[in-house]
Amino acid sequence: MMIGMSEEIESLIWRLGLENAINFNGKTNIKVILGKILQNHPDLRSKAKELSNKVNIIVEKINSMNFEAQKKKFSEDFANFLEDKQKIKTIEEKTLPPLPNVKKGHAVVMRLAPYPSGPLHIGNARMVLLNDEYCNKMYQGKLLLVYDDTIGSDQKWVLPEAYDLIKENLDFLGIKIHKSYYKTDRMDIYQDHCKKLLEKGKAYVCTCDGETWRDEYKIKKKGCPCRSMAVEENLARWEKMLDGTFPEKSAGVRLKTGMDLADPALRDHIIMRISERDHPRVGQKYRVWPLLEFSWGIDDYLLGITHIIRGKDLMKEDRVEELIWKMFGWKKNTEFIHYGIISFQDMKLSKTYNREQIQSGNYIGWEDPRTWSINSLKSRGIRAEAIRDTILDFGLSLTDIKFSPQILYSFNKKYIDPISERYFFVDNPREIEVSEIPYENLKAEALKLPNNPEKGYREFDLKIENGKIQLYIALSDVKKLKKEKKLRLKDLFNIEITEIDKKIKAIFSSKELDIARDKKYSILHWVPYQDNIECSVLKPDGTTIKGVGETNLLNVIIGNTIQFERFGFVRLIEKKPIIKTYFSHK
């Protein structure tokens, strides 16, 4: 026996019928509903008679309801549909404010400045996507990729493979790069400009102990003895920094920004320091390295950067760059634009921390969902478009924001829901026996895509022995069972629970979906007891859920997102020896 028209098609009829009734004073037009379904699903024309009968039955029920009941049922049964439509409308309405001081006839030039200690993560995405949105999409300018790969703090190390990982992340996000630079290729430029500042008397080599300089000079707003050294002495000290006479941490170059500045962080800011650490690109060719603000003060001018977008926590860097330009007599041609801080509660985004977890074996790699790297989001089936939508939804505001993964998931669902085939998966499976089935064999059908019958059906050939069948249902559903309670096994038939103590048993009740709808039966998804395949789902917190799924999963292409019905969206990673997936979201 063939189970009737799929539940997804019936759900579509209800949605279209209720929507039509609400828009036309409580009365649904049968021809309109039938026409819409056949127009979008021409494969159903072969079942036009059966479809017409079903539409007639459902429309009759809709038209028998009063207007308030129609609206109530639509909002209850199709809340997700309404939410998704509203989200789409919201993102389409949002636009970024124009860039300040865009000069007519001059191209907008902007830059990305990732530090290659690992791949980009969700926190970096805001900087990346805002720059791309402005430079490439709004102003058709030039976007530069400048690897900020100078030697940083003792805790921050360049990861050799990060260069390629970052480029792969940018490609995934759809970022157009016009030219790439490496700061390690520009070290001579930074050192030459540092020497020029020493020659101008705008900088000095300081050999004071860091703690002493802070407590005795910085806090007290007075210059240290090094500050008054002659230019010749500073140049001699500079050579000692370069040739190895001065060991690490014994000397650094300070910019004469002013010891009386109101902001202590700006007082005679250090711009060059010694590090003998080996670098993956240049080895130990250099031992005197620029700090971030100095290298950017030079590069933003020489590379012709017109606009810089960054977090408001980097406003100090703006001021240091402006002071550097002034000392060289360079005209300020760059506009600074800032945005508020995003807080990522309960999320460890530190690349250094995540690299340590990977090296220790606690994480499986950069695709581990706990890293929140772009690699991990891609592995989970998060679309680049959804990440972009999320960032644009934040906008460009100085207001601080708390990041909610649910926002990202909502946007992602907009993209993957229409294309993710549906399959049955049961976590923590428990056996249920259904008896008194009045058929010898059952062939159940379920749409792969609820709103697109053209994509075909999943089929289940179920053998009934002595009126009985064994199935798997989820432990979470078992805990909700009660004796004499009637339920529906999705796309199969209705049952009545008879035993839940030692074994879970039920009897066949009816096959009609309308009965389940009218009496609002709970829906259980299921997997055949004998014809199934082992599955695993890696969750965002790093835990793994195990269960069984339908064997139709073996036909899914690796890398596709699918939906485990009533469980959530997942991305298929492997098919042998078991079905291995990463959880996307609900």
Amino acid, single-letter form, for residue 126: R
Instruction: Specify whether the CB–CB gap between 88 and 39 falls below 8 A.
Output: no
From start to end of 315-417, where are the E strands?
335-339, 342-343, 401-402
Both 469 and 577 in one domain: the answer is: yes
460 within a domain of the structure (yes/no): yes
Q: Which residues contact 430 (CB under 8 A, 6 or more apart)?
A: 472, 473, 474, 475, 478, 504
Predicted local distance difference test score (pLDDT) of residue 46: 75
Residue 52: is its pLDDT beyond 90?
Answer: no
Lowest-pLDDT range of 60-64, 116-120, 458-462: 60-64
Structure tokens at 7: 């539940």
In order, the DSSP letters of 76-131 are HHSHHHHHHHHHHHHHHH--PPPPTTPPTTS--EEEE---SSS--BTTTHHHHHHH
3-state SS class at 513: helix
Confidence at 391, pLDDT banded by 50, 70, 90: very high
| Tens-place pLDDT, residues 293-330 | 999 999 999 999 999 999 999 999 999 999 999 999 99
Both 467 and 567 in one domain: the answer is: yes
Using alpha carbons, select from 20, 30, 15, 27 the residue that is nearest to residue 75. 15
62 within a domain of the structure (yes/no): yes
Q: What span, in angstroms and rounded, lies between the C-alpha atoms of 136 and 109?
A: 10
How many domains in the chain?
4
Structure tokens at 296: 């950017």
Lowest-pLDDT range of 31-45, 323-337, 502-516: 31-45
Q: Which residues contact 373 (CB under 8 A, 6 or more apart)?
A: 118, 119, 120, 121, 122, 169, 354, 366, 367
Q: How far is CA 550 from CA 265, 313, 399, 460, 526, in A?
A: 62, 51, 48, 9, 9
Predicted local distance difference test score (pLDDT) of residue 83: 52
Average pLDDT, the chain: 92
Q: What is the DSSP letter of 44?
A: G
Predicted local distance difference test score (pLDDT) of residue 385: 97
Q: What is the DSSP letter of 492?
A: T
The span from the first CA to the last CA of the chain, in angstroms, equals: 34
3-state SS class at 373: strand
Confidence at 545, pLDDT banded by 50, 70, 90: very high
94 within a domain of the structure (yes/no): no
Residue 156: is its pLDDT beyond 60?
Answer: yes
Lowest-pLDDT range of 153-162, 172-181, 310-319, 538-547: 153-162
82 within a domain of the structure (yes/no): no
Instruction: Specify whether the CB–CB gap between 374 and 121 falls below 8 A.
Output: yes
89 within a domain of the structure (yes/no): no
Confidence at 71, pLDDT banded by 50, 70, 90: confident
Both 312 and 256 in one domain: the answer is: no
Longest dimension (CA), the chain: 103
92 within a domain of the structure (yes/no): no
Structure tokens at 5: 């028209």
Structure tokens at 102: 């865009």
Domain of residue 47 covers 7-77
Predicted local distance difference test score (pLDDT) of residue 12: 84
Residue 94: is its pLDDT beyond 70?
Answer: no
Both 268 and 398 in one domain: the answer is: no
Predicted local distance difference test score (pLDDT) of residue 138: 95
Residue 31: is its pLDDT beyond 90?
Answer: no
Q: What span, in angstroms and rounded, lies between the C-alpha atoms of 582 and 396?
A: 32
Instruction: Specify whether the CB–CB gap between 35 and 16 falls below 8 A.
Output: no
Confidence at 7, pLDDT banded by 50, 70, 90: confident
Amino acid, single-letter form, for residue 199: E
86 within a domain of the structure (yes/no): no
Q: What span, in angstroms and rounded, lies between the C-alpha atoms of 50 and 38?
A: 12
Predicted local distance difference test score (pLDDT) of residue 48: 79
Q: What span, in angstroms and rounded, lies between the C-alpha atoms of 276 and 237?
A: 17
Residue 123: left (phi > 0), alpha (psi -120 to 50), or beta?
Answer: alpha
Q: Could you count the other beta carbons within 10 Å of the beta carbon of residue 401?
A: 17
Both 439 and 458 in one domain: the answer is: yes
Q: Give the end of a domain, one of 354, 385, 416.
A: 416
Both 116 and 235 in one domain: the answer is: no
With 0.75 as the threshold, say if the pTM is over it.
Answer: yes
Q: What span, in angstroms and rounded, lies between the C-alpha atoms of 483 and 488?
A: 14
Q: What span, in angstroms and rounded, lies between the C-alpha atoms of 155 and 1?
A: 67
> What is the dihedral angle through the alpha carbons of 206, 208, 212, 217, rounded to the nearest 10 degrees?
-40
Number of residues written out for the chain: 586
What are the residues facing 289 on neighbouring strands? 273
Q: What span, in angstroms and rounded, lies between the C-alpha atoms of 325 and 185?
A: 22
Confidence at 2, pLDDT banded by 50, 70, 90: very low
Q: What span, in angstroms and rounded, lies between the C-alpha atoms of 166 and 436?
A: 60
SS3 content of the chain, % helix, strand, coil (to 5): 40, 25, 35
Predicted local distance difference test score (pLDDT) of residue 20: 86
496 within a domain of the structure (yes/no): yes
Q: What is the average pLDDT across 431-441?
A: 94
Q: What is the average pLDDT across 452-481?
A: 92
Q: What span, in angstroms and rounded, lies between the C-alpha atoms of 426 and 419?
A: 22
Lowest-pLDDT range of 367-376, 496-505, 538-547, 557-566: 496-505
Predicted local distance difference test score (pLDDT) of residue 155: 74
Residue 1: is its pLDDT beyond 50?
Answer: no
Both 306 and 286 in one domain: the answer is: no
| Tens-place pLDDT, residues 238-278 | 999 999 999 999 999 999 999 999 999 999 999 999 999 99
Radius of gyration of the CA atoms of the chain, in A: 32
State residue 340 phi and psi, 5-degree precision. Answer: -70, 170
Q: Give the end of a domain, one of 290, 315, 336.
A: 290
Both 459 and 549 in one domain: the answer is: yes
CATH number of the domain that residue 428 is part of:
2.40.240.10
Confidence at 448, pLDDT banded by 50, 70, 90: very high
% of the chain residues with pLDDT over 70: 96
Predicted local distance difference test score (pLDDT) of residue 89: 47
3-state SS class at 391: helix
> What is the dihedral angle through the alpha carbons of 553, 554, 555, 559, rounded to the nearest 10 degrees?
80
CATH number of the domain that residue 214 is part of:
3.90.800.10
3-state SS class at 185: helix
Both 207 and 132 in one domain: the answer is: no
Both 446 and 489 in one domain: the answer is: yes
Q: What is the average pLDDT across 541-565?
A: 97
**Residue with structure tokens 């939508």?**
389
Confidence at 86, pLDDT banded by 50, 70, 90: low
Q: What is the average pLDDT across 492-517?
A: 93
Helices of type H across 342-394: 351-360, 374-379, 384-394
3-state SS class at 428: coil
Predicted local distance difference test score (pLDDT) of residue 3: 44
Residue 431: is its pLDDT beyond 50?
Answer: yes
Instruction: Specify whether the CB–CB gap between 238 and 262 falls below 8 A.
Output: no
% of the chain residues with pLDDT over 90: 75
Both 435 and 574 in one domain: the answer is: yes
| Tens-place pLDDT, residues 201-222 | 999 999 999 999 999 999 999 9
Q: How far is CA 227 from CA 116, 206, 224, 257, 515, in A?
A: 35, 7, 6, 11, 88
Predicted local distance difference test score (pLDDT) of residue 84: 52
Both 333 and 213 in one domain: the answer is: no
Residue 85: is its pLDDT beyond 70?
Answer: no
State residue 566 phi and psi, 5-degree precision. Answer: 65, 15
| Tens-place pLDDT, residues 455-469 | 899 999 998 999 999
Q: How far is CA 114 from CA 90, 123, 151, 275, 308, in A?
A: 31, 12, 13, 21, 14
